[in-house]
Amino acid sequence: MVRYLGRRVLQLIPVFVGATLLIYAMVFAMPGDPIAAMGGDRGLSPAVAEQIRAQYNLDKPFFVQYLLFLKGIFTLDFGVSFSGQPIMEVVAAAYPVTLKLALMALVIETVFGVFFGLIAGLRKGKFFDASLLFVSLIVIAAPTFVIGFLMQFLVGVKWQLLPATVGTDHSVKALLMPAIVLGAVSFAYVLRLTRTSVAENLSADHVRTATAKGLPRSRVVSVHVLRNSLIPVVTYLGADLGALMGGAIVTESIFNIKGVGGTLYGAIIRGEPATVVSFVTILVIVYLIGNLIVDLLYAVLDPRIRYV
Amino acid sequence: MTDTTTTETTGTKPLLEIRDLSIDFQTRGGPVHAVIGANLTIYPGQSVAIVGESGSGKSTTAHAIIDLLPGTGQVTSGSIIFDGVDITKASKREIVNLRGKSIGLVPQDPMSNLNPVWSIGYQVEEGLRANGIDVSRGTQRVLTRGLAETEPAAFVGEDLLLSGDAKRTLLGLLREELSSRPEHDRELILARADDTLVTGSTTRGEAVTILEGLGMPSATGAVEKLTSVAKTKDRVAGLLAEAGLPDAERRAKQYPHEFSGGMRQRALIAIGLAARPKLLIADEPTSALDVTVQRKILDHLGDLTQELGTAVLFITHDLGLAAERAEHLVVMYRGRVVESGPSREILANPQHAYTKRLVAAAPSLASRRIQSAKAAGVEVKELLAQTGGDGVAEARDDVLVAENLTKVFTIRGSGRGHNAFKAVDDVSFSLKRGTTVALVGESGSGKSTVANMVLNLLEPTEGRIIFDGVDMTSLGKKELFSFRRRVQPIFQNPYGSLDPMYSIFRTIEEPLRVHKVGSPKERETRVRELLDLVALPQSAMRRFPNELSGGQRQRVAIARALALQPEVVVCDEAVSALDVLVQAQILELLNDLQSELGLSYLFITHDLAVVRQIADEVCVMSKGKIIERATTDEVFDSPKEEYTRELLGAIPGASLQLGTEDLAV
């Protein structure tokens, strides 16, 4: 088990280097000169432009820049943005709320998706199953902003059950509605995945053996069906965490949340390479950690994987 | 048909009584009658076998007994009375109570019947807990009682069970006590003690008796000093040890994927017997295992159930196995019980036409018949003529020679480096034109690897294959292509080896097309000929594999193999997946084709019983080596190697005494 964990962690290193190098290269290759843009219509004097270039290390070769950037990551120093604000500050303002939102969405989709998926799987072909499938299809088909605005109007404005926008209040209550909207599509996928997996496992030979042992049905389902069925669901959830964080931009703009999505979008529009690279790098790290957790859960759920 | 005999158990109340049982499955095309008016009676402690081919309703009947009918299956009429309770009318709760506790199940396929994510021990323990057998709690009760009465004797008590630690201590003491004995004796006695002292099951009182019986006078004192008490995990280890699993205490912590098929089957037997049911249903318990393992497990199961007084219901397609293991036989055919009675009687004097055919075709019985006939002085050739075998190989040239074949696989080791695994080790044999050589061995013996090398699908690490005087390793791409025409395979699984998207015509025509033989018109004529040759109607041409039965599919596979008029056919377990009657038909077909077309067969199989019916020469393989090579008669009459004798002994039905008078079938 320890060896398995060690190997997984070691595997993160090449992925991390590869991903950041790729991001850095792509931002480097973006057309236009951000320094020239800073000067506006009048333009900068060559001496000042040169000085700014040196300040941001833009005068050095690509690989030197990349290595300086890597060094910055490990010392938690991402440099300053063009507006003079340290990028670390921008990150500290945007990441916590998005991370909280994404985790809430993840919890909601997991709990409800697995629960309803299990029931649907156990009653495959019955009315309950069919109606859940129908609902999940609608959720998957409807764009996020439709569900978002609809809920905002109904729950937030008309019935006034929850705050309609978030603003600076990052409490669980304020973030509940955005989290539901953000997790809705994934909920539908988790539900369908669980349902199929449960229905398949129900007819497995070892489940019949468990029943023949004299176990009550509740125990057969919880011990022998559910655990085996969760393996594909866990795989999906790991990949989904990254998607939730990156994809929160629509939800964040509907509910007026100053999170990763909005900040990153602004930085791309303004052409601030340092901010863009820093944000995306942190997204990569979150994604890698998410996948590491999935790998560990995997090993917990399925003993066959521990020895591979 | 009702029971004609109730054997010696008349007078006692039956344990299980099935009366006029009918079971239907609902399908789109209306109900399918899987079981029609079946009757079956089992007395306490009796062993009964239901015999029939796949689809005969034998498994459905068995599953109805524990209310585990799959899918849309439903009992439409009749009753299943178990111990006074009608299972067809019992409530869910009553049935859950019966399962495991009164009726145990040992399922068919050990590979899929254990949950891969739980340890073996946990899965056995579950069976105990679900049925209210909690050793830990019971022990606590006895201990509290002992302490309350402040009587140390309570610790030696009749109902205090032996723990794993206590057993180790006792075995250590016994070893000391026996130190003066010669080593061989000592080990034997220790092994006896190890077997008879079952943790979590043997009480301390019994342990004293056993140890004194083995020559340990100080047993009472030693047992009194024991401090550790049995827990549920000791019981689990004891159950696994009982089922014949070595090193059970450590093994219980392992997961199914760390177990071989035979070991998994033992674990399943431990689960089935965990709560000491009155009836054990053994559904083809060993059909997925090698013969030698099969025999060991069935022997063990037989001993154990006899000791515990458990009634056993075997479900099997192998008549030899059924007759050997059960006192009473029930033959099912197309949902009906066609015959039932004491095993010997049915075997010696089958009444129903289907049973007669079954008795005639069972390969295990056929080879017994030959042996007993030999003893009576009947010429073997005459007997084999029944199945069309020509028996004697004349001196002919070798069409295929394998010289010192070796195949080494590198497998991913645990952690660092790679391990080399010698799957085939210095194997040499030759195949004479127009004859059959059988390669026999258990799974993992390397026989299929040899087949793949002969087919040139795998490259040998060392050695060479000479086909018709030409060394195959020297062949170029073009020559290899034409070589493939002359050597064709027939594989084990007729369900997997035919492309489901191809019509039968396209399947058989494909090799002709690939090798550009004839015009489309000529090819069609050839396909028709081939279908005639394998005794399939020409109308089968337009059908698809899923519309054919297993036997028909295997005929298609044979037709495809013969399309290019090969000289050598490699049959890799070609009949292993088929029911006995179909198996006999296919073997007969292969025999006819051999004499008609002068084919040479390399026959790969794990089933010695089949070998007797088809092979001229036998190579017995074990762990990658050929350990014995001789003519079929020699191997069967005077096997030289211990391993070969073991294989022969493992053929089901080996212990049956068959007279020669039932030879004319």
Give Cβ neighbours of residue B618 (< 8 Å, ≥ 6 apart): B437, B438, B440, B611, B628, B629, B630, B631, B632, B635
**Which pTM was predicted?**
0.77
For residue range B521-543, list pLDDT tens digits in order: 999 999 998 998 888 888 888 88
Q: How far is A296 from chain B (nearest CA, A)?
A: 15
Residues of chain B contacting residue A210, judged by C-beta atoms under 8 Å apart: 115, 123, 126
Flag whether residue A304 sits within 8 Å of chain B, measured between CB atoms: yes
Flag whether residue A215 sits within 8 Å of chain B, measured between CB atoms: yes
For residues B10 and B1, the answer to whether their CB atoms sit within 8 Å is no
Flag whether residue B77 sits within 8 Å of chain A, measured between CB atoms: no
| B177-185: long-range pairs with CB below 8 Å, 24+ | B177/B215, B177/B216, B177/B218, B178/B215, B178/B216
Structural tokens at position B288: 């997925």
Q: What is the pLDDT of residue A189?
A: 94
Flag whether residue B100 sits within 8 Å of chain A, measured between CB atoms: yes
Contact B255 A304 (CB under 8 A): yes
For residue range A217-235, list pLDDT tens digits in order: 999 999 999 999 998 899 8
Q: Higher pLDDT residue, A279 or B145?
A: A279
Q: What is the pLDDT of residue B159?
A: 64
**Angle, CA A132 vertex, CA A130 and CA A134 arms, to 5°:** 70
Chain A interface disruption, residue of B92, B124, B126, B271, most A CBs within 10 A? B126
What's the complex ipTM?
Answer: 0.81
B395 band by pLDDT with thresholds 50, 70 and 90: very low
Flag whether residue B656 sits within 8 Å of chain A, measured between CB atoms: no
Q: Quick check: A44 pLDDT over 80?
A: no
Extents of the domains making up chain B? 13-117+255-360, 135-242, 398-650
Chain A interface disruption, residue of B113, B114, B254, B271, most A CBs within 10 A? B113
For residue range B195-213, list pLDDT tens digits in order: 888 888 788 778 888 888 8
Enclosing H/E stretch for B75: strand B74-82
- B567 phi/psi in degrees, rounded to 5: -95, -30
Residue of A nearest to B115 (CA): A206
Q: Quick check: B8 pLDDT over 50?
A: no
Contact A214 B105 (CB under 8 A): no
For A193-217, b/e burial (b = at least 16 CB within 10 A) is bbbbbbbebbebbbbbbbbbbbbee
Residue of A nearest to B108 (CA): A205
| Distance (Å) of CA B324 to CA A1, A90, B342, B613 | 47, 81, 11, 21
| Distance (Å) of CA B429 to CA B86, B368, B440 | 61, 27, 13
Q: What is the pLDDT of residue A307?
A: 58
Residues of chain B contacting residue A307, judged by C-beta atoms under 8 Å apart: 414
Q: What is the pLDDT of residue B78?
A: 93
Contact A228 B115 (CB under 8 A): yes
Residues of chain A contacting residue B127, judged by C-beta atoms under 8 Å apart: 213-214
Give Cβ neighbours of residue B568 (< 8 Å, ≥ 6 apart): B399, B400, B431, B454, B467, B486, B487, B488, B599, B600, B601, B602
For residues B320 and B368, the answer to whether their CB atoms sit within 8 Å is yes
- Residues 490..549 of B with a Cβ closer than 8 Å to A: which? none
Contact A215 B113 (CB under 8 A): no
Flag whether residue A212 sits within 8 Å of chain B, measured between CB atoms: yes
DSSP SS3 for B223: helix
Q: How many CA atoms lie within 13 A of B119 on its CB side?
A: 15
Flag whether residue A302 sits within 8 Å of chain B, measured between CB atoms: yes
Extents of the domains making up chain A? 2-84, 88-306
For residue range B274-287, list pLDDT tens digits in order: 988 999 999 888 77
Q: What is the pLDDT of residue B336?
A: 92
Q: Quick check: B17 pLDDT over 90?
A: yes
Contact A206 B131 (CB under 8 A): no
Residues of chain A contacting residue B412, judged by C-beta atoms under 8 Å apart: none
B13-117+255-360 and B398-650 share one fold: yes
Q: How far is A203 from chain B (nearest CA, A)?
A: 8
Enclosing H/E stretch for B50: strand B47-51
Q: What is the pLDDT of residue B396?
A: 59
Place domain B13-117+255-360 in its CATH homologous superfamily.
P-loop containing nucleotide triphosphate hydrolases (3.40.50.300)
B664 band by pLDDT with thresholds 50, 70 and 90: very low
Residues of chain A contacting residue B268, judged by C-beta atoms under 8 Å apart: 209
Flag whether residue A125 sits within 8 Å of chain B, measured between CB atoms: no
Contact B257 A303 (CB under 8 A): yes
Q: Higher pLDDT residue, B156 or B275?
A: B275
Cα diameter, chain A: 86
User: What CATH code would you report for B398-650?
Assistant: 3.40.50.300
Q: Quick check: B385 pLDDT over 50?
A: no
Q: Quick check: B140 pLDDT over 90?
A: no
Residue of B nearest to A299 (CA): B117
Q: How far is B266 from chain A (nearest CA, A)?
A: 14
Q: DSSP letter at B342?
A: E
Residues of chain A contacting residue B65, judged by C-beta atoms under 8 Å apart: none
Q: What is the pLDDT of residue B330?
A: 94
B5 band by pLDDT with thresholds 50, 70 and 90: very low
User: What CATH code would you report for A88-306?
Assistant: 1.10.3720.10
Name the residue among A37, A77, A80, A36 with its Cα closest to residue A55.
A80
For residue range A150-165, list pLDDT tens digits in order: 999 998 888 988 888 8
